Structure 1
Amino acid sequence: MSRDDAALGLRRASLLALVDHERQQRETLQVLVVWLVQLLSLHGRVEPCSTASEILRQQYRSLTPRQREVLTLVVEGHPNKRIACRLAISQRTVETHRAAVMRKCGCTSVPALARWKMAIDRAHD
């Protein structure tokens, strides 16, 4: 591997890390906006804004009942193998459901998924 290849690889890795970091910040910001709107509406500071909450509800409604079960177990910290045993499905099916949940919710990591689930739970309260 030449020095140019190594430098290019390092630049590429840095760019990928930056893109991933920005995506995580965007996910966190979306959840924070929902929480802020809910907090302000609870205290009568603003009229309840259904836009952010409605988006979360629509995302949640787009999940199948099985995907909701998998979501709950993933957020609780169960590994795919345990989820598969608990739901009496294959581990590959759990992986498929988990990927669909991540895609439909717009999350790229389990911590982001947990924050999304917390926002959903608050929106339902």
Structure 2
Amino acid sequence: MDNNNTRKWLKSHHDTLFPFFPYLKKRGIKWLFEKLREKGGGKGALYIHIPFCTGRCTFCILTREYPSENTLKYVDSIVDEARAWRDYFSSIQTIYVGGGTPTSLSSEELKLLFAGLRDTF
């Protein structure tokens, strides 16, 4: 990789797991909120983890649960948490949905999820 390509890559790089949990654990949640306030409501991306699956892929390091009757409660909790974070971002440009298996949610639950996020951001 030549210097120009390296610079392009460095400028395009973004952390998808910010802040890395052990790093945050050392500093505490107040540190995170102070940093977000300093940043001043920038653009953001949102990852929504749908942890419902019946097995585990060999490469998976994420939390998982077996599908249950609590999926609607989980969707409501995601929307509530998004509302708690919305003041820290001027806009959300991208929403990633992964898991688990996002299609373990019903079509109605997916509609509620995206309607709640649209109303929030």
Please give the TM-score of this superposition, normalised by the length of structure 1: 0.27
Q: Which has the higher helix share?
A: 1
Please give the TM-score of this superposition, normalised by the length of structure 2: 0.27
